[in-house]
Chains A and B, each alone.
Chain A
Amino acid sequence: MVVSCEQVWQEVSNYLDAEVEPELRAAIDQHVRGCRCCAAVMDGVRNVMQLYADERMLELPLGFSRRLHRRLEGELGGTRRSFFGWMAAAAVSVLAAGAFEAARSSVFSRPGLRSQHARASGHVPPDMLVVVAENGKTFHVSGCRFIHDQRSLRTIPAREAIEEGYVPCVRCMKKYLESGARLGAVDPAPPDLARS
């Protein structure tokens, strides 16, 4: 099977998404090895995908979660809570405030999270070895393609990474993030969440 430059350009996206049949894939590989233009297109599209997949390219506005949660509370809470509901919520708030103060004064309090789009660390196994960069914000599984600073990597247990303020990479730790958020996250929730 032989493919032309035009065919390569039409299939470059499917090729990089691994959505082409093996025979076509082999033909594209062979073509690209001998065609400087198509190699440039292939490398460029791959770079585009890699650059934009980086979590730094789209960060949640600071305070987004808090504002969303407050808006939901405002829309839902006022009409639904009974007197007993409010009393219970007030009691929980007092307890939460006490717990918050206790946590603040604790010697084990965590440093601030390094990233504004921090997610619940969820079910990341605490003893799992992860990789962090000295000036980075996130921790990764070894070999994750979203590790940007390869020069100052350390391998430490996830527990330590969390304690140092690193947050899980939303790509390579995705399955843990989703499980954590759904199954009852371990990270501190916004203070007003304590009522729910």
Chain B
Amino acid sequence: MTRLEEAHQIEEERLIQRVRDGESEIFYELVRPHERRIYAAAFAILRNQADAEDAAQEAVFKAFKHIRQFRREAKFSTWLIQIVVNEARMRRRKDRAELMEAIDKHGEDDRYTPRDFADWREIPSDVLERREVREKLAQALASLGPIYREVFVLRDMEQLSIEETAKALEISSSAVKTRLLRARLMLRDLLAPGLGAPWSSRLSFSQGTKPW
């Protein structure tokens, strides 16, 4: 651990202790650095902006209420994300969306074979300036099964480590790696330009126009 990280941790522990001692108004200071991650975790599960925001808010409030249960073996951010994940999963279950997850789990251990071998070496640096490209990427991500999307969002979009992702989702590190591999390969198949043109046909790009 670097000196800076050590300083963060000490300061975070100090803030947690102050909240436990009754200074509830400073709890937001603990949460603020992790806002993006908690929203992303909720959105990965619920796929709806309003639902994700509501779940994130509710989870943050629950985290406050249960701050005494926080154990220092875990990072505060991981603990917080774990609560968000549980809250979002509970809401998804209410919507019966977990039926999809049951389907995803079937064959999770099967090996995934890439389907498209189109050359896709370079991406123009400004491709994400185009809103329609961002939307198509979001569509591709939304088409993944929940168990793959959750792992991919936390690991590749929010840059959690394998271990942090595993703790947040309450699964093993090897399950994270397996799901991550599959998520990345599936997204590549969905997005790689080439024969069969999955990008242009499935994602409705105008004919002959590839984003890269």
Binding site for B on A (CB under 8 A): 6, 9-10, 12-14, 17, 19, 36-37, 39-41, 43-45, 47-54, 56-58, 60-61, 64-65, 67-69, 71-73, 75-77, 80, 117, 119-120, 147-150, 170-171, 174-175, 177-179, 181-183, 193, 195-196
Beta-carbon contact of A49 and B156 below 8 Å:
yes
Beta-carbon contact of B114 and A76 below 8 Å:
no
Given contacts A40-B119, A41-B114, A61-B53, 15 further A-B contacts (CB under 8 A): A9-B111, A10-B181, A52-B157, A57-B128, A58-B43, A60-B36, A60-B39, A68-B60, A72-B64, A80-B22, A148-B129, A149-B126, A149-B129, A181-B33, A183-B8
Beta-carbon contact of B128 and A68 below 8 Å:
no
Beta-carbon contact of A80 and B31 below 8 Å:
no
Distance between A53 CB and nearest chain B CB, rounded to angstroms: 6
Complex: A64 Cα to B42 Cα, angstroms: 13
Given A68-B31, A196-B26: A40 and B120 within 8 A (CB)? yes
Given A13-B177, A47-B120, A68-B35: A40 and B128 within 8 A (CB)? no
Closest to A181 in B: B33
Distance between B194 CB and nearest chain A CB, rounded to angstroms: 8
Beta-carbon contact of B191 and A44 below 8 Å:
yes
Residues of B with C-beta under 8 A to A51:
123, 127-128, 137, 191
Interface string of B90-115 (1 = CB under 8 A from A): 00000000000000000000011110
**Can you show 18 pairs from A to B with CB atoms below 8 A apart?**
A6-B113, A9-B111, A12-B184, A13-B177, A14-B177, A14-B181, A40-B120, A40-B192, A52-B156, A65-B35, A67-B57, A73-B25, A76-B25, A76-B27, A148-B126, A149-B129, A181-B33, A182-B12
Beta-carbon contact of A182 and B11 below 8 Å:
yes
Q: Does B70 contact A (CB under 8 A)?
A: no
Q: Does B125 contact A (CB under 8 A)?
A: yes
Within 8 A of A (CB), among B40-60: 40, 43, 49, 53, 56-57, 60
Beta-carbon contact of B181 and A13 below 8 Å:
yes
Residues of B with C-beta under 8 A to A52:
137, 141, 152, 156-157, 187
Beta-carbon contact of B56 and A68 below 8 Å:
yes
Beta-carbon contact of B184 and A45 below 8 Å:
yes
Given A52-B137, A52-B152: A64 and B185 within 8 A (CB)? no
Beta-carbon contact of A58 and B117 below 8 Å:
no
Residues of A with C-beta under 8 A to B25:
73, 76-77, 195-196
Beta-carbon contact of B39 and A72 below 8 Å:
no
Complex: A127 Cα to B209 Cα, angstroms: 44
Beta-carbon contact of B156 and A53 below 8 Å:
yes
Interface of chain A: mostly helix, strand, loop or mixed: helix
Complex: A36 Cα to B194 Cα, angstroms: 14
Residues of B with C-beta under 8 A to A196:
25-26, 28-29
The residue among A36, A41, A77, A117 with the most chain B CB atoms within 10 A of its own CB is A41
Chain B interfacial residues counted at CB < 8 A: 64
Binding site for A on B (CB under 8 A): 4-5, 7-8, 11-12, 15, 22, 24-33, 35-36, 39-40, 43, 49, 53, 56-57, 60-61, 64, 111-114, 117-121, 123, 125-129, 134, 137-138, 141, 152-153, 156-157, 159, 162, 177, 180-181, 184-185, 187-188, 191-192
Residues of A with C-beta under 8 A to B141:
52
Complex: A53 Cα to B159 Cα, angstroms: 8
Beta-carbon contact of A178 and B119 below 8 Å:
no
Complex: A54 Cα to B157 Cα, angstroms: 7
